[in-house]
Amino acid sequence: MKRQAALFLISLALCAFSIHELSRWAVVIIFASLTYGALSPLISARRLYFLSAASVHTALLAVVLAIPLAKLTGLNEYGFAVAIGLALTYCVGYAIYKGMNSDVATAVFVSLTASLSVLAMYFVLTKFS
C-alpha cells in the first residue's frame, strides 16, 4: 500500500511539473491507470472481476451522458461524469448487497450500459454536435 501511495505521489508530481509538456490525453491516461491500479486490490478482495471489466462501459456511458447535462446546465462535464459513474457502480453494488448474484448483476449492468451508451452517443451526436 505504501508503494502504491509513493507511485501515486511520484506520478502526481510528474504531472504537475510537466503539465505544459504533456497533452491532456496523457494526463488522463496516467490518472486513469492510477485509478484502476488502486481499485485492483479492492476488486480482487471482493471477487468482482467481472465488474472491473464493466467499469469501461460505465465510464463510456457516464462521459456520454455528462456532455448534454453539462451543456444544459452550464456546469463541468467532469463532475457529471464522475457522479454518474459512481451512481451506476453503486447500483450494481446495491443489487449485490440485496442478494443478487454478482455475476448476474454485472451481466445485466454490462448489457444495460453498453446499450444505453450507443443510444446516448447517437443522441449526443445528433443533438449536441
Q: What is the pLDDT of residues 7-46, one digit of tens each?
A: 676 766 666 655 555 666 677 777 777 777 777 777 777 6
Residue 78 banded pLDDT, cuts 50, 70, 90: confident
**Cell numbers at 110, concatenated:** 454490462
Stated pTM of the model? 0.66
Task: Say yes or no: 69 and 19 in one domain.
Answer: no
Highest mean pLDDT among 46-50, 51-55, 114-118: 114-118
Task: Say yes or no: 71 and 129 in one domain.
Answer: yes
Residue 99 sits in which domain range? 47-129
Instruction: Please check whether residue 96 is in contact with residue 105, taking contact to mean a CB–CB distance below 8 angstroms.
Output: yes
Amino acid at 65: L
Task: Say yes or no: 104 and 66 in one domain.
Answer: yes
Task: Say yes or no: 19 and 34 in one domain.
Answer: yes
Task: Say yes or no: 34 and 70 in one domain.
Answer: no
Percentage, residues of the chain above pLDDT 90: 31
Q: Using CA atoms, how far apart are residues 112 and 55, in angstroms rounded to an integer?
A: 12
- Confidence (pLDDT) at 14: 64
